[in-house]
Amino acid sequence: MDYLPSQRLVQLAKRYERAGDLPAGEAFHRAFSRFLKANRESLLDITVAAASAQISVGDGPEDVDPLLLKAIHDTNPSLTESRLFSLDGDTLQGAVNTAKGKYFEYLVVEKLNHGEQVGPLLLEAGQQAVLADSMI
C-alpha cells in the first residue's frame, strides 16, 4: 500500500525544509516554539480571567460578565440574581469563588466556538464545543 501525503503536508514540508539562510529544520523548530508559546498564553489568559473574577458590593448585573452570572447561577441554583446582588462582600465573593471553575469552562467553550485556539485545541469547520449536561 502506497502512502500519499496530503497536499497541505507537502506544502508545509517544502516551506520548512529550507527557509532562507536557516539550516534545515530550524524554521520548523521556530514555528513549533511559537505554537507552544501561543498554547500556553491562550490557556493562561483564560485561567487568569476565571481566577480573578470578582463582583463588588454595589455592582449590578450590567457590570458583570454574563458568563460569570450564568456560572454563579449554575453552581448556586437557589441564588437568584436579585439575592446575589444584595449579599454582603464576603458572601458575594464566596458565591463567585464557588463558580470560578464553571466560569473557566464557559470561557473555554466561548473561545473555541469563536474560532480561537485554547491550549492545543482548535475546532475544525463544523465542530462546536459544548459542556457536558451532567457530571454523572
The series of mean pLDDT values per 10 residues for the chain, 136 residues long, is 70 67 71 76 87 89 94 93 90 94 95 90 92 80
Spatial separation of the C-alpha atoms in residues 133 and 136, rounded to whole Å: 9
**C-alpha cell recorded at residue 102:** 464553571
Q: How many residues does the chain have?
A: 136
Domain membership of residue 67 as a residue range: 23-113
Whether residue 55 is contained in a domain is answered as yes
Whether residue 97 is contained in a domain is answered as yes
Whether residue 93 is contained in a domain is answered as yes
**C-alpha cell recorded at residue 17:** 525544509
User: What is the predicted pLDDT for the residue at 120?
Assistant: 81
User: What is the predicted pLDDT for the residue at 24?
Assistant: 62
**The one-letter amino acid at 21:** D
3 state DSSP class of 71: helix
Identify the CA nearest to 95 among candidates 66, 69, 134, 114. Answer: 69
Q: Is the pTM for the entire model greater than 0.75?
A: no
Angle, CA of 115, 121 and 123, to the nearest 5°: 40
Whether residue 47 is contained in a domain is answered as yes
Paired residues of 118 in beta bridges: 121
Domain count, the chain: 1
Whether residue 16 is contained in a domain is answered as no
Whether residue 48 is contained in a domain is answered as yes
Whether residue 94 is contained in a domain is answered as yes
Whether residue 121 is contained in a domain is answered as no
CB atoms within 10 A of CB 59: 13
HSE-CB of 21 using CA atoms within 13 angstroms: 0
